[in-house]
Amino acid sequence: MSEETKKQETMDDYMNEINASFSNFRDDDMLIWDKLAQMQEDKTDFEVTVEGIVKGGVIAYVEGIRAFIPVSQLALHYVENPEDYLKKTLSVRVTEVDEQENRLILSAKEVLRDKAQAEKLEKIQSIKVGTIVEGTVESLQTYGAFIDLGDGISGLVHISQISEKRIKSPKAVLSVGDPVKAKVIKNEDGKISLSMKALAEPQEEKTEEPDFELPKSEEISTSLGSLLKNLKIDG
């Protein structure tokens, strides 16, 4: 075998290895994008580290793929300085996957929002029926009043549960900002129903005293004298 033939075979083997490696890399890359698409569908939460700051957001990497997190998706509140998130670890969720455009968008806000909602629901469920609560009138509607109970929790006092007397509008009794005390009468599906009427003290019926006057002492003596005068004693 000539030296020229050996060189050609060596070059062909080298190119075959490169092509094989590239093919494997491409297969792996496709698998990663498929995995990311599945994560988006399943709403899988995972952690990433912010590696860079760009216009409008920050950069992180997922399985070697560059991902973008918009500033609006970094937190529940407005983020003025995304630089503060550099090298920080965030719990995120895939919101957009586009292999053709090589675009991967993540959100930390969705994870934080769902966590906050779960914590709120847990607090609501801890409020038992029969509990006496205090709050502030948050808003007035034609059908009742919403009461702010704190910690982002509200309860509804239906118009029929505001007063023992029949009222045409909650505004006839309540104003926004009024402090109120109410009883929890229902807690179902994350909604709390309250009653102010249930705390109203029942009015005791007054017992009427009989219209009776005791006779004066003089009248008693006179009556007794008359009785003795008319009494005959047999001798």
In whole angstroms, what is the distance from residue 180 CA to residue 173 CA?
Answer: 11
| pTM assigned to the model | 0.63
Q: What is the DSSP letter of 41?
A: H
CB 89 within 8 A of CB 48: yes
Domains of the chain: 3-114 (2.40.50.140), 128-199 (2.40.50.140)
Residues sharing a CB contact under 8 Å with residue 154, sequence separation 6 or more, in sequence order: 138, 146, 147, 148, 192
Question: Which one, of 103, 110, 137, 99, lies nearest residue 44 by Cα?
Answer: 110
- Render each residue's pLDDT in the chain as its tens digit; 235 residues: 555 555 555 555 545 554 544 444 444 566 899 999 999 999 999 999 999 999 999 999 999 999 999 999 999 999 999 999 999 999 999 999 999 999 999 999 999 999 999 999 999 999 999 999 999 999 999 999 999 999 889 999 999 999 989 999 999 999 999 999 999 999 998 899 999 999 986 544 444 555 545 555 555 455 545 555 555 555 4
* DSSP conformation letters of 80-118: S-GGGGTT-EEEEEEEEEETTTTEEEEESHHHHHHHHHH
